[in-house]
A and B are shown apart, each in its own frame.
Chain A
Amino acid sequence: MSTAVNQAMVEKYKGNFLKEVTENVEEGNWVKMCMQCGVCSGSCPLGPHWDHPPQEIFMMIRANKREEVLSSTSMWMCTSCYNCIARCPRGLPITHIMHGLAHYSKRIGLKPKNQPTEKFGQMFWDNLTKKGRVNELKLGLGLYFKDGFAEGVKVAMSKQKLGMNMMKAKRMSPMEMLGGHGVSDLAGFHAMLKKAEELEAARVGENTDKK
């Protein structure tokens, strides 16, 4: 599905990536407001570790570097510290644009491979939607074992003390392994999610159908 959506988008926006971002990415309509002052890039604590800092991403969007932007690791590196939003002289919600871009790149299947933030995001979502509450035990273990069994045992052993303390402080229960707690109206919660998914799919479909 994702590659099909990607093809449809390429067809629809033929070389106008800014328009594609404006119409499809959450808060993407702000991108055109960037005046390239560079204060966000300079303020980003993870700046030196990105492929492209935010203001460079915004320029690349305008320069139609579609593949490069959507497959870059940049927006996945955002830690939501909000330094950029606080300092942006034009009031761009940069953090939200970064998350919007990340989400969009995932939706159309251009996300970078083996991106840990993306992996964790998916894991968190799957965990949360199952019961309507986060199962911390399963989530933690899932995270430990994401890079294989041997690596998982190693990490789990090193975090043993933290785990024990959390149990003592009643922040985590070993009983969570057996199903775990959830919201009272689980069926209602799932119905709500299903409805949201339908609405989102309709919105995306509508956007890709219009030519």
Chain B
Amino acid sequence: MTAVVATNQTIIVVGGGISGMTAALEAAETGKQVILLEKRPYLGGRVTQLYKYFPKMCHPTCGQEINQRRIKMNKNLTVITQAEVSNISGGKGDYTVSVTLTPRYVNSNCTACGDCAKAATTEFDDEFNYNLGKRKGVYLPNAMAFPQQYVIDARLIGTPEADAAKAACKYGAIDLDEKEETIELKAGAVVFATGWKPYDANKIQPYGYDRFANVINNVEFERLMDPHGPTGGKLLRPSDGKEAKNIAFIQCAGSRDRNYLKHCSRFCCMASLKQTQYVTEKYGTDGKSTIYYIDIRSIDRFEDFYRNVQADPSVSFIKSKVAKVEQDKDGNPVLHGVNTEGYHRYANTHDLVVLATGMEPSVDFKGLPIKIAVNEEGFIEHDEANGGIFAAGVAADAMDVNRAVQHATAAALRAVQVVNQVAGA
């Protein structure tokens, strides 16, 4: 593991989501040496947790497979999972990056046969499903996980269960003595593709995400649709496990609001429009989706998608920022507000409420050991003073997958220019 060669002509990409994979691949495919670091035990980031993409409504596994294949074929690219940057120093063309590696306890002998998981019993909250379900302590993070290797939860180490898992492995792939280690890597340029996290909906007090089981957020809704997800692909609401057929989507939940996130998160309108089509996919005309919105921002070519959703008889639109959510005695969320088209006051009961929560950067860039330009919202600003450090995708601004991929390609080009200068000097 520790035998990673890195020079000041190496490009380090931090974060192995869709942006990081793209940036790393684009740079590596030009012949540059690239190291891709990922905190989770697998690549793909939040995109792997989606059921479908907009606007084409295809499954992310497809694009994921293409990228995995590109990674496997490229000898210039080194992928290190369960790796977190703990320090970074130096300047453009000469960075030193300290990386902390947490043990997986499973090496590359693993064939993903699953015998080790059969020997394990203890269950933990499943992060991949935003803790909506459980997984074992010995697990494959998701069906498409890359690398396709099992992981042993550090909380199992030292228990008989871990020993049982080791005993069950026919390939000698389990090493329970792995220790956390820190390695130092040189780099000419560093690309931050650290992505986003959903805005913490508990902070939006009037919507009751913290109090009402049947108020969930948009990323959790994606997991309900996934056949591998916690509900086996059924739209079951959390309070009583009943099928949710009448679903409300609340837009700008935490975005465009001085009390929460000032910026427009740009993807949530399209995400909710897409999710109404999940409801239609499941129930046809028996399903009912209602979007509560200030204005729909389906920018440029997504307008067609919006028109198609408007034409769907099971989807309705209410122009209103919902004032508050309450719960009736059957656990149904009741939405209160005023429809600004005609100023009609409403109290609408739904089976399930999906908050279209926005994006915030997953990393506090202001706390980095090296100074870079960070804007008011916490995203990295493009700035000459950043030297050889660049942002790719949502580390730079809130955006959807297709813009993130374009942005990551641009970041790769910038990083390539830096290492070209180093090579020329």
Binding site for B on A (CB under 8 A): 35-39, 41-43, 47-48, 52-53, 55-56, 86-91
Contact = CB atoms under 8 A, between A and B. Distances in A.
A202 B89 CA distance: 63
A53 B258 contact: no
Main SS of the interface on chain B? loop
Contact of B338 (A35, A47, A89, A91): A47
Contact of A39 (B319, B323, B343): B323
A89 B294 CA distance: 11
A56 to B, nearest CB: 5
Given A37-B321, A37-B340, A42-B337, 13 more contacts: A35-B294, A38-B320, A38-B323, A38-B338, A41-B338, A41-B345, A42-B321, A52-B343, A56-B343, A88-B258, A89-B252, A89-B257, A89-B258
A53 B258 CA distance: 21
Interface string B237-268: 00000000000000010001111000000000
Interface string B208-227: 00000000000000000000
A176 B41 CA distance: 78
Given A35-B294, A37-B294, A47-B345, A42 B257 contact: no
B259 A89 contact: yes
Among A35, A38, A47, A56, find the residue whose CB has the most chain B CB atoms closer than 10 A: A38
B258 A90 contact: yes
6 contacts: A36-B294, A38-B319, A38-B320, A38-B323, A41-B323, A89-B257
Nearest to A42: B323
A55 B259 CA distance: 18
B256 A89 contact: yes
B92 interface: no
A53 B259 CA distance: 22
Contacts of A86: 259
A42 B321 CA distance: 8
Contacts of B343: 41, 52-53, 56
A87 B294 contact: no
Q: Place the interface of chain B in its size category.
A: 20 to 34
A53 B338 contact: yes
B403 interface: no
B206 interface: yes
A39 B258 contact: no
Interface of B: 206, 252, 256-259, 294, 319-324, 336-340, 343, 345
Contacts of A43: 206, 323-324
Contacts of A42: 320-324, 336-338, 345
A38 B258 contact: no
A47 B324 CA distance: 14
A90 B259 CA distance: 8
B340 A55 contact: yes
Contacts of B320: 37-38, 42
A52 B345 CA distance: 12
Nearest to B204: A87
A72 to B, nearest CB: 13
B340 A36 contact: yes
A55 B342 CA distance: 12
A48 to B, nearest CB: 6
A39 B321 contact: yes
Contacts of A47: 338, 345
A47 B338 CA distance: 9
A87 B321 CA distance: 10
Contacts of B256: 89
A48 B338 CA distance: 10
A122 B252 CA distance: 42
A55 B163 CA distance: 65
B262 to A, nearest CB: 9
A39 B324 CA distance: 9
Contact of A38 (B206, B259, B324, B340): B340
A43 B322 CA distance: 9
A48 B256 CA distance: 27
Contacts of A48: 345
A10 to B, nearest CB: 27
A87 B337 contact: no
A87 B252 CA distance: 13
Contacts of A53: 338, 343
Nearest to A52: B343
A87 B322 contact: no
Given A38-B320, A39-B323, A55 B338 contact: yes
Nearest to A48: B345
Contacts of B294: 35-37
A47 B256 CA distance: 24
Contacts of A41: 323, 337-338, 340, 343, 345
A94 to B, nearest CB: 13
A56 B322 CA distance: 16
